[in-house]
Amino acid sequence: LVQLYQPLNWFGTYYRMLQQNFIDMEKMIQLLEQNQSVHDSPEADRLIVTDGEVVFENVNFQYDTRQKGLHNISFTAPKGKTVALVGPTGSGKSTILRLLFRFYDVSSGRILVDGQDISKKTQTSLREQIGVVPQDSVLFNDSIFYNINYGRTSASKEEVEEAAKAAQIHDKIQEFPDGYETKVGERGLRLSGGEKQRVAIARTILKNPPIVLLDEATSALDSTTESQIQAALAQMTMNRTTLVVAHRLSTIVNADLILCIKDGVIVEQGSHDELIARAIANNGEGVYYEMWKQQIREERGDDATTIDGSE
Ligand code: ADP
């Protein structure tokens, strides 16, 4: 009876933990389940990545028959550049990231990485090349070292520390009771949202992938944490092709390309300056322009909006 009871009890605890605290892990598990719908074709060979250029070519995708999804998505994320996805909740931004990670296959069109159609390549070889930083990162109930080292288990202690330094979390770890051996997670030291995100960034820097998918946190952070996160993100995205679901004005304005998504369609694309100039030439009308003004109102307060973005 004890033998039977323990796993059940464990499962109950685990399940409650998922429900209450690890919403992101729940999502992860959902994604893994969904993932079973994607299969490698028998002829699939390995993706060879040289630059990490990402191209979406007339991509259409539906989750189900209710027409939600993506319609005719085309854009290029050149090697090492940052593409910001902006638009209302439910417009399809995360779906674009999920398709590139191949949680689903496109209904029509193609996604190319360095000229190769990802649907014809093995999922493993694709995912080896991609780092993912979700909004709410999950930590394992293990040491902080383990949590970073997970990005590349063959890495040395020095490499783990280098990654932690680049992610602006090394100094914080030094203050923990057992340094890098400090247990974190549900049963250990609880880290703040900003700290957890920097651990995920350190993990990704250690993994060193040419492509990064980032879901930027929506929550407001204090200014020290915010500047540490920005510095960590700058290190992570430097020389890596980055697709970011962007909520922060600084990220959006500095992106090489902005895709403005509405109802599964790219309604406008260009750099910040191009999109603003286009709107001004069009009597101040533009979807991006409206979103940008809204973002400024949210981040800086109502009276800060001017036509050219100056204060
Ligand atoms: P965003 O990231 O812009 O908030 P998403 O890409 O998550 O938007 O979602 C786009 C649309 O697809 C939404 O209408 C959403 O409800 C729907 N959707 C997302 N995930 C699923 C799913 N697993 N099954 C069915 N519909 C989904």
The reply to whether ipTM tops 0.90 is yes
Alpha-carbon distance of 49 to 240, in angstroms, equals 12
Q: Cα torsion for 220, 223, 228, 234, to the nearest 10°?
A: 70
Structure confidence by residue, pLDDT tens digits, 47-61: 999 999 999 999 999
Instruction: Output the CA angle 235-240-241, nearest 5 degrees.
Output: 135
Q: Is 94 touching ligand 1 by the criterion CB < 6 Å? A: yes
Closest atom of ligand 1 to 264 CA is 10
Closest atom of ligand 1 to 98 CA is 6
Q: How far is the CA of 51 from the centre of ligand 1 (A)?
A: 30
How much is the pLDDT for 133?
Answer: 92
Alpha-carbon distance of 152 to 245, in angstroms, equals 25
Residue 198 and residue 229 in contact, taking contact as beta carbons nearer than 8 Å: yes
Instruction: Output the CA angle 297-299-305, nearest 5 degrees.
Output: 35
Alpha-carbon distance of 305 to 290, in angstroms, equals 11
Whole-angstrom CA distances from 291 to 132, 219, 248 are: 26, 18, 12
Closest atom of ligand 1 to 91 CA is 3
Residue 210 and residue 240 in contact, taking contact as beta carbons nearer than 8 Å: yes
Write down the mean pLDDT value for the chain: 86
Residue 218 and residue 247 in contact, taking contact as beta carbons nearer than 8 Å: yes
Q: Which of 27, 63, 101, 105 to mutate to test the pocket of ligand 1 (most atoms within 8 A of CB)?
A: 63
What 3-state class would DSSP assign to 9? helix
Alpha-carbon distance of 244 to 82, in angstroms, equals 7
What 3-state class would DSSP assign to 102? coil
Q: Is 89 touching ligand 1 by the criterion CB < 6 Å? A: yes
Alpha-carbon distance of 311 to 305, in angstroms, equals 7
How much is the pLDDT for 36?
Answer: 60
pTM, 2 dp = 0.85
Residue 38 and residue 122 in contact, taking contact as beta carbons nearer than 8 Å: no
Residues of the chain with pLDDT under 70: 1-36, 67, 301-311
Alpha-carbon distance of 174 to 58, in angstroms, equals 49
Tokens of 214: 């980032």
How much is the pLDDT for 302?
Answer: 58
